[in-house]
Amino acid sequence: TPKSSETVVDGCKTSPGNSGSVGPGGSKRALACMRLFEFVPASVAESEPQQNSRSIYRSAYLHIRLRQMDPQGEEQQDREDLDDDEVVIRPESDVILETGSKGPYDYDLIVIGGGSAGLACAKEAVACGARVVCLDYVKPTPLGTKWGVGGTCVNVGCIPKKLMHQASLLGEAVHEAAAYGWNVNEKIKPDWNKLVSSVQNHIKSVNWVTRVDLRDKKVEYINGLGSFLDPHTMTIKMKSGDRKITSQTFVIAVGGRPRYPDIPGAVEYGITSDDLFSLNREPGKTLVVGAGYIGLECAGFLKGLGYEPTVMVRSIVLRGFDQQMAGLVADSMEERGIPFLYQYVPLSVEKLSSGKLLVKYEHSQSGEVRSDTFDTVLWAIGRKGLVDDLNLANAGVHTFKDKIQVDSYEATNVPNIYAVGDIIYGKPELTPVAVLAGRLLARRLYGESTQRMDYTDVATTVFTPLEYACVGLSEEDAVKEFGADEIEVFHGYYKPTEFFIPQKSVRHCYLKAVAERHGEQRVYGLHYLGPVAGEVIQGFAAALKSGLTIKTLMNTVGIHPTTAEEFTRLNITKRSGLDPTPASCCS
Ligand code: FAD
């Protein structure tokens, strides 16, 4: 039974000390103390009203410690290496808690991986009363790029990607502004180094807030590489030496890293998305090898920033996505001047005396060999699960294609070992999926919940210059599952009002609803190509999950003039053969 000062969330106890706000006087004093030192990241200072005074004092204290150890304010990973990671600071008194727990094991739970899945799981498990340690370690890329706690999303994934996409959209917006009457006299050009430093500063502040949050929530965190000795024992490689720890339960949340092709010069001269967002030189003319969402997004923002990307496609664009939509995405990028080399594979990368990279590549069917020079070669050919360092054989955990197969409870074949996030086989590799799965797993393990993760109907967005978002089934998957005769596809092109004045191309602004043909016409999938796609689809995702039908969609009154309202105006089926191009924006 929770004490009166505790609240219960899904079977887990939280106390006000973990999240609540405390008296304004305390906060003011703590803030004043922090301002004295003038080093508190803006993001922390801004959150003053939400922070309790103890946590602000502690944040200040921790930051002083980090600064004392690292007066130059060097890289986050350096701070982590220097930090005393085997301890957790007790909120009340800054006393170091001793490790070791009741029972035969040091911990109830060891979470391996401090990314989206691992952090969510570790924090929730602690809130449910478990004694938890979370390990995180990032091996530098061949170029030497490394980063702090938080995993792929924060450091080399969603966040820097979205920021660079935004930078690119802003460039486009400035050009459009002239058509709208703004006096944009100078030819604008991007400053890559400024962009990189702004993005990296934001990431560092997120790393810092993440660590403070872990301490606030009493999650012990170790900056070390974990590998199994047996199903209950793990060795952690740290800067200070190896440490052996035991636990009743393990959650593997190690995620993945980009693959390199096995061709000469790939590792020496190529980079991946792990390097791009902190690259200390302009990318210039860039060969993006791979046409998955990461490759297309990188090519898209590089073009928007004024560089010259070319996309090399081995087989198809956006594998796993609706292929009609994928084709439109690629066409819209080509229309913006991004060349696509279809059916080509790279053979070698060589560095010329000029510093340029000579890439030889081959047509996969005709065998024709071509070459071209680039400033940057970006490998975006897929990601590999980080199973190798874990020594999973010592624990008896089976792997499958560099991933771990789990059942619907995220359990591996070893009873006390679970896996969540990108490391699990066959599930969407997305941050919100990792977060929710990690949180639900912790609630099932240590709370009173029995709720399992639902991996179906997960909405997602491809942040290409013209964005693509979808939820539910692709047209081909719906046909595969129900048969072509049982599927009705409602579709239409549309003209965003804001595109008219700057005369932006509306050729690829298209959307469709894949639905049941008969009966209540349940909607199986929604697909949208156009501006702010993620914002458009998010709400429709909730509707689809709640059993949306075509009738409901058509009876929904739109918000005019928006692009999201186009879903409420869909009335032409593919089967009818009628022209889905509208006469005007408001017909
Ligand atoms: P990760 O975040 O990768 O965390 C795993 C952590 O474990 C890492 O820090 C790793 O170094 C560490 N680790 C590995 N092995 C060990 C070990 N043995 N011991 C200790 N630590 C270890 N998703 C979206 O939802 N939206 C997007 O827009 C989006 N954009 C993306 C863009 C890019 C360029 C990339 C690469 C990914 C993007 N993703 C996006 C995917 C998203 O980042 C991942 O789905 C998410 O980060 C997975 O979280 P995770 O916790 O499973 O793994």
Measured distance CA(308)–CA(321) in Å, rounded: 26
Phi, psi of 30 (to 5 degrees): -65, -45
H-assigned helices in 277-421: 293-304, 323-335, 392-395
pLDDT at 42 over 70: no
pLDDT at 581 over 60: yes
The rounded Å distance from CA 549 to ligand 1 centre is 35
Residue to mutate, 85, 133, 141, 158, ligand 1, most ligand atoms under 8 Å from C-beta: 158
Q: Which of 33-37, 109-113, 223-227 has the lowest mean pLDDT?
A: 33-37
Q: How confident is the model at residue 397 (pLDDT cuts 50, 70, 90)?
A: very high
Q: Are 112 and 118 in contact (CB under 8 A)?
A: yes
pLDDT at 479 over 90: yes
Tens digits of per-residue pLDDT, 259-299?
999 999 999 999 999 999 999 999 999 999 999 999 999 99
Ligand 1 atom having least distance to the Cα of 138: 11
Indicate if ligand 1 lies below 6 Å from the C-beta of 288.
no
Q: Are 444 and 450 in contact (CB under 8 A)?
A: yes
Is omega for the bond preceding 258 within 30 degrees of 0, making it cis?
no
Q: Are 412 and 252 in contact (CB under 8 A)?
A: yes
Ligand 1 atom having least distance to the Cα of 114: 6
Tens digits of per-residue pLDDT, 89-133?
333 323 333 344 457 999 999 999 999 999 999 999 999 999 999
Q: Which secondary-structure segment (H or E) carries 54?
A: helix 53-69
Distance of CA 419 to the CA centre of its chain: 18
* Helix and strand element counts for the chain (H, E): 19, 24
Given the residues 175, 491, 518, 560, select the one marked as catalytic.
560
Indicate if ligand 1 lies below 6 Å from the C-beta of 421.
yes
pLDDT at 79 over 80: no
Quick one: average pLDDT of 215-225? 95
Measured distance CA(179)–CA(200) in Å, rounded: 33
Tens digits of per-residue pLDDT, 144-156?
999 999 999 999 9
pLDDT at 344 over 90: yes
H-assigned helices in 501-549: 533-545
Measured distance CA(196)–CA(449) in Å, rounded: 43
pLDDT at 21 over 70: no
Measured distance CA(366)–CA(112) in Å, rounded: 46
CB count in 10 Å sphere of residue 250: 26
The two tokens of residue 283 are 């990318």
Task: Break the chain down into helix, strand, coil percent, rounded to 5.
Answer: 35, 25, 40
The two tokens of residue 76 are 């986050």
Indicate if ligand 1 lies below 6 Å from the C-beta of 135.
yes
pLDDT at 510 over 50: yes
Q: How confident is the model at residue 49 (pLDDT cuts 50, 70, 90)?
A: very low
Distance of CA 161 to the CA centre of its chain: 9
Tens digits of per-residue pLDDT, 425-445?
999 999 999 999 999 999 999
With both helix axes pointing from N to C terminus, report the angle between 116-127 and 431-446 in degrees, rounded to the nearest 10: 30
Of 131, 163, 136, give the one whose Cα is nearest residue 151: 136
Q: Is 560 a catalytic residue?
A: yes
Beta strands in 416-505 (DSSP E): 417-419, 460-462, 467-472, 487-493
Three-state DSSP class for residue 230: strand
Indicate if ligand 1 lies below 6 Å from the C-beta of 429.
yes
Measured distance CA(441)–CA(435) in Å, rounded: 10
Sign (positive or negative) of CA dihedral 181, 185, 190, 194? negative
Ligand 1 atom having least distance to the Cα of 135: 20
Annotate 64-98 with three-state secondary structure. Answer: HHHHHHCCCCCCHHHHHHHCCCCCCECCCCCCECC
Measured distance CA(252)–CA(25) in Å, rounded: 42
